[in-house]
Amino acid sequence: MSGKGRREWRFYLDDMIGFAEKVIAYTDGLDQVGFITRRLTYNAPVRNLELIGEPATHIPERVRGANPDLPWRLIIATRNRLIHGYLGIDNDTLWSIIQSDIPALLPKLRQLRQRVTGGELGSFLE
């Protein structure tokens, strides 16, 4: 770790995994109507969708570029849209992200984490 108070980028990857896991857990067993009509089961996953994008901005560009199978720009753009466009959030789009995109993203994040842990990324770990 270089510089006091700076966090290693690997920890941000762990954060992304944790937030994605929460989105899945909070919506497990729900259909779209149940998701939309229950404020807590709506707000908690949406907040965690926002949170997935924030640590993505802290993953170094060289790591993002070396892992193009992860939709880095889309993850960050989704976060920005949720944060800044709260009155215009489309529930069908949210539900699609929760049901399709997050379950597809999570194994890719875990695979990257495994590669980091196993030292396969070499110079990216410095």
Number of domains making up the chain: 1
pLDDT for the residue numbered 54: 94
Whether 1 is in a domain gets the answer no
Tens digits of pLDDT across the chain (126 residues): 445 557 899 999 999 999 999 999 999 999 999 999 988 889 999 999 999 999 999 999 999 999 999 999 999 999 999 988 766 788 999 999 999 999 999 999 999 999 998 876 655 555
CA 95: distance to chain centroid? 15
Q: Which residues are catalytic?
A: 79, 84
Q: Show the domain range for 38.
A: 9-117
For residue 67, what are the contacts with CB-CB under 8 A and spacing of at least 6? 112
Whether 123 is in a domain gets the answer no
